[in-house]
Amino acid sequence: MKKFLNILSIISGTFAFICFSTFLLVSIAQGGETLAVLIGITAVIAISLPLIFFRKLKMWMKLIFCVVTSVYMLTFFAFCFFLFSYPEPNVVEDSDIIIMVYGCRTYEHCPSKALAVRLDKAYELLIYYPDALCIVSGGQGANEPITEALSMKRYLMGKGIDGGRIYMEPDSHSTEENITKTKELIERENLEDYKIIGVSSDYHLRRIKILCDKAGVETELAPAHSRLSLELFQNIVREYMSYIKMGWNYVLQ
């Protein structure tokens, strides 16, 4: 039993350390909120010290460390199943359609791999619905030379989509703002009667659905299926923390 506890503690502790180190590094690299960076630093220290001095810990300390890190690891894998089990969208039979693309990190003037996958999915839908309009939503991050919206519009135009079909929403800096500011844009342009098909990464859709319901926005959601990569792991780690933040904000309301 003691040997099993030690092995499980090392495995789950190492996994938690990797996840929170990833969260910390991504938060710093992308100019994230100070609170996110502090949470990352605190978690990395709190996990790394018991791992380093594991042999010197008392049995009750090892047990607490094992339970906490194992719960984190198990909930993380359950969370992944929850994210990637989002159903395929219903086929929308309508001529008045808006394809809304949720922004993501850009590098220099080009979309990141995750954003390019979203845009490729949006391109497929814009070809399938030749009369559909498109809204690209995303502001300019601290380490981005242009807005995500402009980067996305250029990408789609480079694939042959008429720029006149594409509206830009360049002021949002979160998923919630993507939704609320795009809703304002739709109202300004008198497009309220159009049906919305939101496009984002598969791991992102469930949180979008929750936030759309909260904002009173009716939408179908089309998943851009993610490719296995380090970037995907980084994004899932951030998504996990986003749900914790969303739950915490709900409690405080």
* Average confidence (pLDDT) per 10 residues, the chain, 253 residues: 88 96 88 84 95 92 95 96 82 83 86 92 94 94 86 95 96 94 95 94 93 92 89 92 85 72
**Length, in residues, of the chain:** 253
Same domain (yes/no): 72, 121: no
How many domains does the structure of the chain reveal?
2
What pTM did the predictor assign?
0.84
Residue 237 is assigned to a structural domain of this protein: no
Same domain (yes/no): 221, 102: yes
Measured at the alpha carbon of residue 103, what is the angle toward residues 114 and 121, in degrees to the nearest 5?
Answer: 55
Q: Which residues pair with 106 in a beta bridge?
A: 111
Same domain (yes/no): 112, 187: yes
Same domain (yes/no): 39, 157: no
Domain limits for position 172: 97-227
Residue 61 is assigned to a structural domain of this protein: yes
Distance CA 75, CA 77 (A): 5
Same domain (yes/no): 106, 218: yes
Domain boundary among 55, 84, 113: 84
Same domain (yes/no): 168, 114: yes
Same domain (yes/no): 117, 47: no
Q: Which residues pair with 195 in a beta bridge?
A: 97
Residue 59 is assigned to a structural domain of this protein: yes
Residue 91: its pLDDT value, please? 67
Residue 239 is assigned to a structural domain of this protein: no
Distance CA 179, CA 249 (A): 17
Residue 201 is assigned to a structural domain of this protein: yes
Domain boundary among 18, 49, 84: 84
Residue 32 is assigned to a structural domain of this protein: yes
Same domain (yes/no): 65, 161: no
Residue 169 is assigned to a structural domain of this protein: yes
The domain that holds 206 is classified in CATH as 3.40.50.620
Residue 248 is assigned to a structural domain of this protein: no
Residue 210: its pLDDT value, please? 92
Same domain (yes/no): 221, 108: yes
Domain boundary among 84, 109, 131: 84
Same domain (yes/no): 104, 213: yes
Same domain (yes/no): 153, 209: yes
Same domain (yes/no): 33, 145: no
CB 13 within 8 A of CB 50: yes
